[in-house]
Structure 1
Amino acid sequence: MNQNAPQTKLQVSFVTISEENATQRIDNFLITHLKGVPKSMIYRILRKGEVRVNKKRVKPEYKLNTGDEIRIPPIRIAEKAAPEISSKLNKVAELETTIIYEDDVILAINKPSGIAVHGGSGLSFGVIEGLRALRPEAKFLELVHRIDRETSGILLIAKKRSALKSLHEQLRLKQMQKSYLALVKGNWPSECKVIQAPLLKNVLKSGERVVKVDKEGKPSETRFKVEERFNFATLIKASPVTGRTHQIRVHTQYANHPIAFDDRYGDSQFDALLMKTKLNRLFLHAAKVKFIHPKTMQEMQLVAPLDKILQACLTEIRNHKYQQIDF
C-alpha cells in the first residue's frame, strides 16, 4: 500500500434497510455501499464484529430484512488514484446513442463489438462504468448479464435492485429467452437443433479464458436453427439454455462449424475468405431477448439490429456467388 496516498476517513454511519435491499447479503450490500473499500477490509470488519445489525454481530452471509439498522464503523481508505471517467469521452458519450429501451427500472443497449461490459484486465472502463458516468444521478446501475467483449447486441442493465433480483431469478429459472445470430463455417446440418456438451473453463497465466468441451465441465445446452444458407457459410440462430462462458462459440466449434472471425475458436481459412466482405469482427450478435418486465409483469421482447459491418457482410455474400469451398 502506498503510505503517501491521501487518506479519507469515513465517520460512523447508520443505514436503515429499505424494501429495495431486503434479502441481500450483508457482505454484498457493504461492497456496493462502501465503494472504494477493499473486499478484504469489508470481511475484516464483519469478522471483528465492527459492523452491527440491530446492535448485534452478524456473519457475511446474513440476509438483510426491511427495517434492519446497520452500524458501519469509521473506515480509513486511500483516495482513488484513478481519475473519474468523464462523460465527455467519445466512447462514453457514444453509449447514449446505443440505448434501445429505457424506463424507470431497466435500460437496454445494443452494445457495439469491441467494448467490454465492465472495466478490468487493463481496461479503464466498460459499458457499466460508462453508463454510470453518463448518469451520475443514478443511484443504482448494475449489469443483469454479460456478453463477450467481441460480441455485439442486447445488454440489459437494472436501475433498481428489485429489478435486478427479478431478472436474475428469471435467468436462474431459465425463463429469459436470448437469441443470437451467428455466421458459421460450412453447411450447418438442419438436423442439428440442440447441442448438449459440458464446458470446462481454463484461465491461462496471461489471464485469458479458454473454454473447451470436457466431461468434467459444467452441463451446457444451446439450441440452433438455420436462418439462411450460402455456398460456404450458414447464418444460424443460437439460443443458449445455459449461460456458460463462450458457450455458443465453443458449441459451434464442437460441431465443426466455428463462427466467422472468432480469434479463439475460429478457422483461419474461413476467415480469409470472408475478408472479401470487409468483415473484421466476430460475427456473433445478441439479436433478441424475451423476459417478464420486473415492474409491469408483462412479457417483453427487445430486438437489436445488426451493425453496419455485419449487414454489409451479409449483403456482399448475397449479391456475389462465391466459389464453393470444401473445408
Structure 2
Amino acid sequence: MKTTSPTVQNVTISADQAGQRIDNFLRTRLKGVPKSMIYRILRKGEVRVNKKRIKPDYKLESGDEVRIPPVRVAERDESALSPKLQKVASLEACILHEDSAILVLNKPSGTAVHGGSGLSFGVIEGLRALRPEARFLELVHRLDRDTSGVLLVAKKRSALRALHEQLRDKGMQKDYLALVRGSWPSHLKTVQAPLLKNILQSGERVVQVSAEGKPSETQFKVEARFSDATLVKASPITGRTHQIRVHALHAGHPIAFDDRYGDRDFDRQLAPTGLSRLFLHAAALTFIHPVSGETLRIEAPLDTGLKGCLAALRTQL
C-alpha cells in the first residue's frame, strides 16, 4: 500500500456543479475517502465555503469558493487494481455516442451501473476513471446489473436536469428486447399491473404485483416466434424496479435466465443455445438532446451471447 501526499484544494463551483449538496460534492471529489471521514471534516469545520463553516446539507451555488482540507487516502498497488483497470479500458469500446453534454453506453450484462452493496466497481465509477478530466458524470437512469444495453449518462448538471424532466414527463422512449417462455399472445399488447417493492433482510429487492403497489404499465409487441419461446419488444411506460421482468411473469411468460422471476425448466430447455444470462436488452432509447433539441434514437446491438441464442433457436425451427 502507498499513500498520496495530500494538499489543500481550493475549488470554484461552476454552474454545472451548482445545486448539489456539499456532502455529495465531496464524495464525488474525494474518491476513495470513507463517508465517515467526509462528515468528520465537515463537522469539524475543516471544509469551508466562502471562508465559512457549513452543514452537510448546504447546497452549493455557482461561484462558491470551496476549501477542501488535505485528506490522506491509501492507494492500492497497481497489481491489485489491474482487473479493475481492464474493466475500465473495456468500457471505451462500449460507447455508442458522446458529445459535450451526454455519453451513451452499451452496458455489458453482469456489470452494475454503480458500485455499492459489496461491489467496488460500477459503470459510473469506470467512466469517471476513463474520463478523469470530466468535471461531471452522472447516470440519467439505471439498468439492472444483468440487463445489457443503452445507458444514458449526463456530462453536465443542466443536461441531467433536462433529461430527468423528460423521464418525469414520459418523453423518453425505451425499447427492450426480451426472450420469454412460450407463445406470447399477439393480442396482449399492454400489461397494467401495480408493482410493490419489498427489501429483504439481505438487502435484496423483490418486486411483486400487488393492489398496494404503484401503477405500472408496459407495452409488448411480438418480434419473433420460436418453438417454445417468443422474442418480444417491451416498452415500459412507467419506470418501476424490475418492471418488465415482473410484468412478463405476471402475463405467464417469464424471461429466459431470470434468476429472480424466471422458470428453471425453461432455462434448461435453452441451455443448448449457449445462453447463460438474463435475456433482457435495452435495445433503443429515443429522447430529445438536452442542448441541441434534436430527437436522437440510439440503438445498442445485441452481444454475441444473445445473438448466438437467437441463431440457435432459428435453426431449431
* TM-score of the two chains, using structure 2 as the length reference: 0.86
Please give the residue correspondences for 1:204-223 in structure 2 after superposition, counting only pairs within 5 Å.
204-223=200-219
Give the corresponding residue for 2:28.
32
1:325 counterpart residue number: none
Percentage of identical aligned residues: 67
Q: Whole-Å Cα distance in 2 between the matches of residues 164 and 237 of structure 1? A: 27
Contact conserved, 1:8 with 1:79, CA < 8 A, in 2?
Answer: no
Shift of 1:259: 0.3
CA positional deviation for 1:99: 1.6
The aligned runs of 1:253-264 (5 Å cut-off) are 253-264=249-260
Q: Deviations over 1:202-221 (max 9, x none)?
A: 33333332222223333322
Decide which of 192, 195, 199 is 2:191's aligned counterpart: 195
The match for 2:97 is 101
Equivalent residues of 2:84, 2:121 under 8 A apart: no
From 46, 65, 68, the equivalent of 1:69 is 65
Q: Aligned to 2:140, which of 119, 133, 144?
A: 144
Between stretches 143-152 and 258-267, larger displacement belongs to 143-152
Residues in 2 aligned to 1:107 and 1:44: alpha-carbon distance in whole angstroms: 34
Q: 2:295 pairs with 281, 293, 299, which one?
A: 299
- State which drifts further: 169-178 or 265-274: 169-178
Q: Aligned match of 1:186 in 157, 182, 200?
A: 182
Question: How far apart in 2 are the matches of 1:279 and 1:272?
Answer: 10
Secondary structure (helix, strand or coil) at the match of 1:253 reads helix
Distance 1:135 1:166 in 2: 22
Cα pair distance change 1:178/1:17, threshold 3 Å: same
SS class of match (1:21): coil
Shift of residue 43 of structure 1? 4.3
Query: Shift of residue 57 of structure 1?
Result: 5.4
Give the root-mean-square deviation of aligned CA atoms. Answer: 2.9
The answer to whether the 8 A contact 1:53-1:68 is kept is: yes
**Partner in structure 1 of residue 245 of structure 2:** 249
Query: What are the equivalent positions in structure 2 for 1:11-30 lying under 5 Å apart?
Result: 11=8, 13-30=9-26
Aligned-partner residue type, residue 122 of structure 1: G
Structure 2 residue identity aligned to 1:133: A
Q: 1:88 and 1:137 mapped to 2: Cα distance?
A: 19
Q: Which one-letter code corresponds to 1:304 in the other structure?
A: A
Aligned residues: 316
Moved over 6 A (4+): 5-8
Q: Call closer, same or farther: CA 1:9–1:111 in 2, change over 3 Å.
A: closer
Deviations 1:220-272 (A, max 9, x none): 22222222223322211111122222111111111111001111111112112
Q: By how many angstroms is 1:188 displaced? A: 1.6
From 118, 123, 138, the counterpart of 1:122 = 118
Is the 8 Å Cα contact of residues 289 and 301 (structure 1) preserved in structure 2?
A: yes
1:158 aligns with 2:158: no
CA contact (8 A) 1:278 1:309 kept: yes
Kindly indicate whether the alpha-carbon contact (under 8 Å) linking 1:253 and 1:265 is maintained by their aligned counterparts in 2. Answer: yes
Aligned residue in 1 for 2:223: 227
281, 287, 292: which one aligns with 2:283: 287
What secondary structure is seen at the aligned counterpart in 1 of 2:257? coil
Aligned to 1:79: 74
Q: Per the alignment, in what secondary structure is the counterpart of residue 167 of structure 1?
A: helix
Report the Cα offset of residue 82 of structure 1. Answer: 7.8
| Partner residue, 2:129 | 133
Q: Per-residue displacement from partner, 1:250-299 (whole Å, max 9, x unpaired)?
A: 11111111001111111112112212322221110000001111221211
Contact 2:16–2:136 (Cα < 8 Å) also in 1: no
Secondary structure at the residue paired with 2:16?
A: helix
Residue 311 of structure 2: aligned partner: 315
State the distance in 1 between where 2:16 and 2:135 align: 12
CA distance in 2 between counterparts of 1:45 and 1:134 reads: 28
Q: Cα distance 1:47–1:217, how it changes in 2: closer, same or farther (>3 A)? A: farther
